[in-house]
Amino acid sequence: MKRYSAFAIAREAISRHQNWERVWAAPEPGKEYDVIIAGAGGHGLATAYYLGKNHDIKRVAIIEKGWLGGGNTGRNTTIIRSNYLQDPSAAIYEKSRSLYETISQELNYNVMFSPRGVMMLAQTEHEIRGYRRTAHANFCQNVETEFIGPKRVKELCPIINIAGPRYPVLGALWQPRGGTARHDAVAWGYARACSAMGMHIIQKCEITGICREGGIVTGVDTTKGRIRCNRLGIMVAGHSGVLADMAGFRLPIESVALQAMISEPIKPCMDVVVMANTVHGYMSQSDKGEMVIGGGADGFNNYTQRGSFHHLEETVRALIETFPMISRLKMLRHWGGIVDMTGDRSPIISKTPVDGVFINCGWGTGGFKAIPGSGWAMAELMAKGTSCLADPFSLDRFREGRFIDESVAAGVAH
Amino acid sequence: MLILRCPYCGICADETELTPGGEAHLTRFGPGSTDEDFEAYLFLRQNPKGVHIERWCHTCGCGKWFHAVRCTATLEIFGTYSAQNLRPPPDIIEAIKIRRPDWGGFHK
Ligand SMILES: Cc1cc2nc3c(=O)[nH]c(=O)nc-3n(C[C@H](O)[C@H](O)[C@H](O)COP(=O)(O)OP(=O)(O)OC[C@H]3O[C@@H](n4cnc5c(N)ncnc54)[C@H](O)[C@@H]3O)c2cc1C
Ligand SMILES: [Zn+2]
């Protein structure tokens, strides 16, 4: 792999930028690998990367039915924060957030991590109490957050209407080190590093079956034939239930559509991320100037990547009260992704009833921020069979009533 | 926008009039059941990409809960029926089989 640098730009300019090395290779699948990863989203690619980097397991294939990063990793609103309530969540999300701080240098690929600060508005008395509690919890977890009053909110985000008639802004949970990153670049950066380690990223190849002998995984059937492996990691977000079904078990997961939209580009007007969880809307401004807007998930099981229009209406209606200036903005695009929701709104990073099959799913509406940390933990789990970051998120927590309840903490995840 | 016919009041209701209630025909295990059964009832779901039998409530209409069969991969609706039924009625099973010949059938 040729490193990217200012010098490289000058060097490639000599040949009019026609000879840049391909970012990742496009090999045909081999017969057998030590590890197969199902799904080349952020979580699958990051897991492969840390398998190679931290555990020296490099005979790895990442199998993707579409194109890499084309799932939720390329469809999210890129909010990165770690101000969760429960200790296991704080541990893995804070690990992830801190990895984001250095990942561009490490991967030699600019993921444009922008720690611009994330603000979660308190618009009811209940939310004030909830966020104060979270701020105290975060203090004990070594996660830097602070509960701030309305005056400070207005200073940090002047376009906010503090005195909304229905939902005035009463304060906010402020995480100054939260922010955003470029979602595609996260997938591309990890993919480039995996390919450089000799791993195979196989796109346009769908997994159609999971082969087992005596309860142990032996490989996968794909649209490009059978590929053998000793260990399989399933990281297919909304399609987790489909792959679990191939392996013969069920998951505590339902797949629903989550939508987002983006406005026409305008001049810089907001340099923080604002989430308004009571009214279900959140917004940030992209580097191109578009307002990036998201809201709540749809209510019914859905695999179509098309959501219901009235949810977009609700989101916009809610945000217009808090940000009156956006009421005249034209929306340019809207899209949906299929998110994998668990009952406690926490992910699953776990062994499964099939020996050698591991699953990482249930990130639902909020797994972009977790990509580096989740990959780190999942790689450790797959290499060693245990990982202190991953273990609390095992599948059996539902049977044992050991929930990591984040649904009460946030209302919406993202 | 989904449009479902409420089997009670007969109205073709827009999705905005309705509240989704998830997988239908779950066996409700209670105290004294095994951990596995209780877990399955509370958390484990089919979540199929394809034919899904589910509950809906006509919240902004007659207020009744009913059942619908819908394809989660296309949003096609195969029919609705009253919540008094313990399984999909034969005409709906037939309608599904015509449209989805490789459907695995209703299992409880
Ligand atoms: C609209 C929207 C907004 C969001 N906003 C945020 C946010 O602000 N902050 C945040 O942290 N998170 C957010 N999320 C959530 C976040 O996007 C996801 O949790 C995260 O991207 C999941 O990554 P993944 O790698 O698990 O899944 P994906 O990126 O979806 O990757 C899974 C891959 O598996 C592939 N696959 C599926 N089936 C098969 C098969 N049979 N064979 C081979 N490959 C298969 C898919 O094609 C896909 O590429 C948002 C999500 C959406 C939809
Ligand atoms: Zn009705």
Residues 6+ apart with CB under 8 A from B74: A304
Q: Do B1 and A301 touch (CB under 8 A)?
A: no
Where are the domains positioned within chain A?
114-177+255-342
Please choose, from the candidates A73, A80, A143, A148, the residue with its C-alpha nearest in 3D space to the C-alpha of residue A115: A80
Residues 6+ apart with CB under 8 A from B89: B81
- Whose Cα sits closest to atom 3 in ligand 1? A76
Separation of alpha carbons A326 and A241, rounded Å: 38
Residue of A nearest to B39 (CA): A399
Residue to probe by mutation, ligand 1, list A79, A200, A368, A374, most atoms within 8 Å of CB: A368
- Helix %, strand %, coil % of chain B (to 5): 20, 30, 50
Which residues on chain B are in Cβ contact (under 8 Å) with A253?
45, 47
Whole-prediction pTM value?
0.97
- Whose Cα sits closest to atom 32 in ligand 1? A236
Which residues on chain A are in Cβ contact (under 8 Å) with B54?
300-301
Q: Are A349 and A210 in contact (CB under 8 A)?
A: no
Give CA separation, A59 vs A32, A49, A262, A369, B29, in Å: 9, 11, 40, 27, 45
pLDDT in single tens digits along all 414 residues of chain A: 899 999 999 999 999 999 999 999 999 999 999 999 999 999 999 999 999 999 999 999 999 999 999 999 999 999 999 999 999 999 999 999 999 999 999 999 999 999 999 999 999 999 999 999 999 999 999 999 999 999 999 999 999 999 988 889 999 999 999 999 999 999 999 999 999 999 999 999 999 999 999 999 999 999 999 999 999 999 999 999 999 999 999 999 999 999 999 999 999 999 999 999 888 899 999 999 999 999 889 999 999 999 999 999 999 988 998 999 999 999 999 999 999 999 999 999 999 999 999 999 999 999 999 999 999 999 999 999 999 999 999 999 999 999 999 876 555 545
Q: Are A297 and A75 in contact (CB under 8 A)?
A: no
Pairs across A and B, CB distance < 8 A? 70
Residues 6+ apart with CB under 8 A from A297: A256, A257, A258, A311, A339, A341, A364, A365
Which of B36, B47, B74 faces A301 most closely, judged by CB atoms? B47
Beta strands (DSSP E) in A235-365 are 253-263, 273-276, 281-285, 291-301, 331-342, 348-351, 357-361
Residues B59, B63, B67, B68, CA torsion sign: negative
Pick among 3.40.50.300, 3.40.50.10860, 1.20.1250.20, 3.30.9.10: CATH of A114-177+255-342: 3.30.9.10
Instruction: Identify the pLDDT of residue A402.
Output: 94
Domains and CATH numbers, chain B: 3-99 (3.30.2270.10)
Mutate to test the interface with B, among A298, A301, A345 (most CBs of B within 10 A): A301
Does the CB of B47 have a partner CB in chain A at under 8 Å?
Answer: yes
Which residues on adjacent β-strands are paired with residue A301?
A256
Separation of alpha carbons A339 and A239, rounded Å: 9
Separation of alpha carbons A367 and A259, rounded Å: 15
Instruction: Identify the pLDDT of residue A21.
Output: 94
pLDDT digits (tens, 9 = 90+) for B37-75: 999 999 999 999 999 999 999 999 999 999 999 999 999
Separation of alpha carbons B17 and B50, rounded Å: 24
